[in-house]
Amino acid sequence: MGKMVNLIKLSVGTESIEQLEAWQKQRSKQIEDGHYYHVTRMWPKREAEVTNGGSIYWVIKGEVQARQRVREFRERIGQDGIRRCAIMLEPEIIRVTPSLKRPFQGWRYLEPADAPMDLPKGRDQEAPLPDDLNRALAEIGVL
């Protein structure tokens, strides 16, 4: 098995993981073969590494909070004739240990060693901490 790398992306306008899930399942028109996809302008040069078990980590309200496995990349040609990349995602959204992330544009690569850990089974069903407390704990490295 070869090298693996993840992607990280801001979920712009999303207030919570639940809102991200609802958007993908109920409101988005970006569904194909039963899977949500996210369209981006740039095609990853490290495509083989991402599709070798990588995920897209979602930054929500300044924190990395969740991830989804990347299935594959598909070409999309927009109405403007420009080639774009559809990141095809597994439907399951996995909560991760929240970690602060400064804003950035587009997506970035995220090495496995730098990715937040998945929350242990059962913890993903707990009520989330208030945002200010969660952020304070993340800032001091407790979460």
Overall average pLDDT of the 52-61 stretch = 97
* Amino acid sitting at position 55: S
Contact 49, 97 (CB under 8 A): no
CA-based nearest residue to 134, from 56, 58, 57, 62:
62
For residue 18, pLDDT beyond 90: yes
> What does residue 41 show for φ and ψ, rounded to 5 degrees?
-70, -40
Answering whether pTM is above 0.85, one says no
Please provide the average confidence, as pLDDT, over all residues in the chain. 88
Three-state DSSP at 65 gives strand
Could you report the per-residue pLDDT of 58-110, keeping only the tens digit for each?
999 999 999 999 999 999 998 999 999 999 999 999 999 999 998 888 899 99
Could you give the residue ranges of the DSSP H alpha helices within 1-70? Answer: 17-22, 47-50
**Residues 7, 48: Cα–Cα separation, whole Å:** 12
Contact 75, 85 (CB under 8 A): yes
Q: How confident is the model at residue 34 (pLDDT cuts 50, 70, 90)?
A: confident
Handedness of CA 128, 132, 134, 135 (dihedral sign): positive
Could you report the per-residue pLDDT of 57-66, keeping only the tens digit for each?
999 999 999 9
Between 71 and 127, where is the model more confident? Answer: 71
Overall average pLDDT of the 30-56 stretch = 93
